[in-house]
C-alpha cells in the first residue's frame, strides 16, 4: 500500500518524463532544448518537496484519527491556545479536520528539499533518530552518498531557479545534458519510493 502523497508525487514526476521525451524528440530533429532539461531539475525537486509536505499531513492525521502515538516532534509542537479549546468541544470528526489544518499550517511554508530538511520534515511522523541511515541502507547506498546526491541535485535546482543556471565566476550558462537530468529525476523517484515504504506502512 502506498500513500496518497506518493500517488500525487507520481503524477507530478511524470512531467519530468514528458520533458525528457520532448527533449529527445527535438534533439532528433536538430534542436537542442536545454531549457527542457533544466525544467526536469526544478520539477523533480518540487515534486519531492510537495511529497514530504503531503506525507506529513496524511500520516500525522491518520495517526491522530486512530488515537495513535504522535511523534516526539509533534508532541512538542506549539499551537495557539484557542486551537486546544476547539479540540475539547469538537466531535472526533471535527477534531480530525482541525488537527489536519494545524499540521497543514505548520508545514505549508517549509521547504523539504535538501537532505537535512527532508529529515526534519519526516521527524513530524517518524521518530527514528537515524533516518538517513535507514533510507540509504534501503537504497543500497552509503549514507554520505545518498545525502550528497540529494543535496547536489538541490544545489543545481537552486542555481537554475535563482541564477538562471549561470556560473557566477565565468558568467556563462552551465552545460546541461540528458543523462544528468534523467539521473536526478530517477534518484528523486527512488528516494520517494523508499521513504514511502519506510514511513507510511509503519
Per-residue pLDDT of 39-91, as tens digits, reads 999 999 999 999 999 999 999 999 988 888 888 888 887 665 456 556 666 78
Question: Which structural domain, as residue segments, surrounds residue 189?
Answer: 4-200
DSSP H or E segment with residue 63: helix 34-65
If we measure between CA atoms, which residue out of 202, 65, 51 comes closest to residue 127? 202
Cell of 193: 519510493
Confidence of residue 157 (pLDDT cuts 50, 70, 90): very high
- 53 φ/ψ angles, rounded to the nearest 5 degrees: -60, -50
pLDDT at 81: 47
If we measure between CA atoms, which residue out of 51, 44, 52 comes closest to residue 19? 44
Which distant-in-sequence residues (6+ apart) come within 8 Å of 113 by Cβ?
Answer: 45, 48, 49, 150, 154, 157
Full-model pTM: 0.93
Number of domains in the chain: 1
pLDDT in tens, 165-201: 998 888 889 989 999 999 999 999 999 999 999 998 7
Amino acid at each position: 500500500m502506498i500513500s496518497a502523497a506518493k500517488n500525487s508525487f507520481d503524477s507530478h514526476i511524470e512531467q519530468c518524463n514528458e520533458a525528457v521525451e520532448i527533449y529527445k524528440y527535438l534533439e532528433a530533429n536538430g534542436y537542442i532544448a536545454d531549457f527542457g532539461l533544466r525544467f526536469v531539475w526544478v520539477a523533480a525537486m518540487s515534486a519531492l518537496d510537495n511529497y514530504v509536505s503531503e506525507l506529513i499531513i496524511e500520516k500525522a492525521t491518520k495517526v491522530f484519527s486512530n488515537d495513535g502515538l504522535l511523534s516526539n516532534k509533534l508532541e512538542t509542537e506549539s499551537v495557539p491556545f484557542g486551537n486546544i479549546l476547539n479540540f475539547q468541544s469538537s466531535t472526533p470528526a471535527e477534531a480530525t479536520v482541525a488537527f489536519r489544518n494545524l499540521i497543514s499550517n505548520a508545514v505549508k511554508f517549509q521547504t523539504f528539499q535538501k537532505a537535512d530538511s527532508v529529515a526534519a520534515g519526516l521527524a513530524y511522523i517518524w521518530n527514528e533518530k537515524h533516518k538517513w541511515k535507514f533510507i540509504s541502507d534501503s537504497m543500497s547506498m552509503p549514507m554520505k552518498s545518498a545525502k550528497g546526491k540529494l543535496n547536489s541535485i538541490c544545489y543545481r535546482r537552486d542555481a537554475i531557479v535563482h541564477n538562471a543556471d549561470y556560473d557566477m565566476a565565468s558568467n556563462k550558462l552551465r552545460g546541461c545534458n540528458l543523462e544528468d537530468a534523467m539521473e536526478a529525476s530517477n534518484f528523486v523517484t527512488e528516494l520517494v519510493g523508499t521513504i514511502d515504504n519506510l514511513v507510511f506502512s509503519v
